[in-house]
Amino acid sequence: MAMDLRYACTFAPQGWSAAAWIPVGSPRWAQRGAWVQEEDHLRNQVPAGASEKELLGSRAPETYASQVWQERISGCLLVCAEMSFDHHMAPLIVLAPELSANCNSQPQYREHYEVVLYDQGINVWHHTFALGRPCWQKLVHHAFAVAPRQRHTLEVEKHAAELVVRVAGRELVVPCPALPHRSYVGLTGCEGVNRFYSFSVHTQL
């Protein structure tokens, strides 16, 4: 399938513009995360002095930072992101059909899909929102070793009823019959220190 480059950036200081991105919060937590600009990448802010165990557990809400590119895209698309994680997890690519808002009128997810990279492989999650509460279902886990502190390029190709995930020479096809026709796409860092180096979006010609 032929694809055309729609947007691309690096996350070096001069490689991207925050104005092209929408920060989005999680409906699971009241905190709104933040990004830290580094010399050649962007990372999620984590609480100073927190242990690795705390970042995965009691202080995980403080590690969550997410943003989507400003345009909502129709039809088939390909998202590529170069990323790494310092310990166990969990940088991810997110697809959201629409954005809602929290009590402060700040953008917040409702239904969305997450393709998560971590030290034991790939997880794909479908998040929904019903009766005022967020809920989520793991669609698939593909187990393989992923090295921390190394750059990995994660690709997610969205079709009408499936996601095709590629990383480290592996390909995973995930049936998703309820995939929306239109989606915002972006990045999330959580449950540890996650680093993002580049991002691109291709759309079907």
**Domain total of the chain:** 1
pLDDT mean over 162-176:
96
Residue 96: CATH number of its domain: 2.60.120.560
Check: CB of residue 92 under 8 Å from CB of residue 187.
yes
Does pLDDT of 205 surpass 80?
no
pLDDT mean over 153-174:
97
Q: Choose between 89 and 76: higher pLDDT.
A: 76
DSSP state, 72? -
Residues in the chain, overall count: 205
Structure confidence at residue 92 (pLDDT)? 98
Domain coverage including residue 190:
3-204
Structure confidence at residue 42 (pLDDT)? 98
Amino acid at 135: C
In the chain, helix, strand, coil percent, each to 5?
Answer: 5, 55, 40
pLDDT band per the 50, 70, 90 thresholds, residue 161: very high
Q: Residue 174: helix, strand or coil by DSSP?
A: strand
Own/partner pairs for 174-178, CB < 8 Å, 24+ apart? Answer: 174/124, 174/139, 174/140, 176/113, 176/126, 176/139, 178/126
Sole residue written with tokens 């020479």 = 169
Question: pLDDT by residue (tens digit) across 11-66?
Answer: 999 999 999 999 999 998 877 889 999 999 999 999 998 998 899 888 888 999 99
Structure confidence at residue 5 (pLDDT)? 97
